[in-house]
Amino acid sequence: MYKLIADETHFVVVSKDSGISFHGEGFVAKIKEDMGYELFAVHRIDKITSGLLIFAKTKEVADKLSKMFQNKTIDKTYLALSDQRPGKKQGQIKGDLKKTRNGSYKLLRSMDNPSMTSFHSSLLEDTLRLFILSPITGRTHQLRVVMKSLGSPILGDMRYGGSEADRGYLHCYALKFNLDDISYSFQFFPDSGKKFLKYEHKIKEIINGKSI
């Protein structure tokens, strides 16, 4: 369900498994039970997404971290795979996100309250590409919609047109931030997904080349 990555003075960091709902299946309750004390959620990731999550140990720290996410002072890096060629290989995608009737979202050209995502892609094999995604904002389904808008829906993300796979290939790989004048940096490579594991060495080479 999850792995404990760090147990700091004011918060813990875990990596959620892909296919586990943040809101269901007793995910948060299980972490609290295992740790033995109250924890406060600071941010969330989708069911198909794996990777790093922060839980504060007090309400005060939770408020601080939540404001940092809102103020875009926490750097987030995601890894995604797609087997469909993108319209462009790198850049930034901006635009409002609008919810559609089926519960999905779509990217608009309007800029009233736009989502913002920087990305860079690298070829892993003839039909498989790695995307390193840096969301500046944190909207629901943001990265999944961005990938679809590029013409490269995430592998395994059936809602947004991705090819069928053993998991949704989206993973929160790194978080960096300063809290009370202390710098924190956490990284965790996905430990599930045949494609992630097959290309682990090559993906890590690309990540190291980007100095993430």
List per-block mean pLDDT (blocks of 10 residues) for the chain, which spans 212 residues.
96 96 86 94 95 98 96 96 95 94 91 94 95 94 96 97 97 97 97 97 92 70
Q: Of all residues in the chain, what percent are helix, strand and coil, respectively (each to 5)?
A: 20, 35, 40
Q: Which amino acid, 47?
A: K
Q: Which residue has the tokens 């943001």?
A: 142
- Is residue 205 classed as helix, strand or coil in its secondary structure? helix
Q: Which helix (H) or strand (E) holds 37?
A: none
β-sheet bridge partners, residue 200? none
d(CA 103, CA 101): 6
Give residue for tokens 């404990």. 4
Concerning whether 46 is annotated as a catalytic residue, the answer is yes
Tokens of 121: 């892609």
Catalytic site residue from 7, 17, 34, 46: 46
Question: In this structure, what DSSP letter does residue 103 have?
Answer: S
What's the rounded Cα separation, in Å, for the pair 179 and 16? 22
Q: How high is the pLDDT of residue 39?
A: 96
Taking only the tens place, the pLDDT of each residue in 52-104 is: 999 999 999 999 999 999 999 999 999 999 999 999 999 999 999 999 988 89
Is 177 in contact with 75 (CB distance < 8 Å)?
yes
> Residue 4 is encoded by which pair of tokens?
């404990």
Predicted local distance difference test score (pLDDT) of residue 177 = 97
Residues 6+ positions from 95 with CB-CB distance below 8 Å: 107, 108, 109, 110, 111, 114, 115, 149
Domains along the chain with CATH numbers: 2-209 (3.30.2350.10)
**Residue with token string 């109250």:** 38
**Phi-psi bin for 193: left (phi > 0), alpha (psi -120 to 50), beta?**
left
